[in-house]
């Protein structure tokens, strides 16, 4: 599951709302907590791990982290391309 700080969510919505309403810091944090709760419930019911990834990092960093969690080795220079 991807998560980030409420301020990052608010900045992203402000810069490109794509039809989304403006949210408060409380609403952004609460939405993230709800998503985490649902992800954890699925993980518990399916007996699978749930990974929480900070989406304030770059797309390349997130990609590398997902591949690492999957057990796929990727050289750093391949991600730099």
Ranges assigned E (strand) in 1-81: 2-3, 53-54
Q: What is the pLDDT of residue 73?
A: 78
**pLDDT values of the chain reduced to their tens digit, one per residue, 81 residues:** 999 999 999 999 999 999 999 999 999 999 999 999 999 999 999 999 999 999 999 999 999 899 999 988 776 665 555
- Which run of H or E residues covers position 77? helix 76-79
Q: How far apart are CA 9 and CA 23, in angstroms?
A: 9
Q: How far apart are CA 60 and CA 18, in angstroms?
A: 23
Residue span of the structural domain in which 59 resides: 2-79
Q: What is the pLDDT of residue 14?
A: 93
Q: Nearest to residue 67, comparing CAs of 81, 51, 56?
A: 51
Number of domains composing the chain = 1
Q: What is the pLDDT of residue 80?
A: 59
Whether 3 and 55 have beta carbons less than 8 Å apart is answered as yes
């Amino acid at each position: 599951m991807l998560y980030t700080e409420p301020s990052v969510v608010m900045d992203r919505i402000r810069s490109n709302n794509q039809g989304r309403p403006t949210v408060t810091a409380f609403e952004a944090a609460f939405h993230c907590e709800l998503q985490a709760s649902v992800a954890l419930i699925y993980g518990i019911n399916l007996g699978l791990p749930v990974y929480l990834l900070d989406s304030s990092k770059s797309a390349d960093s997130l990609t590398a982290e997902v591949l690492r969690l999957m057990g796929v080795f990727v050289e750093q220079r391949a991600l730099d391309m």
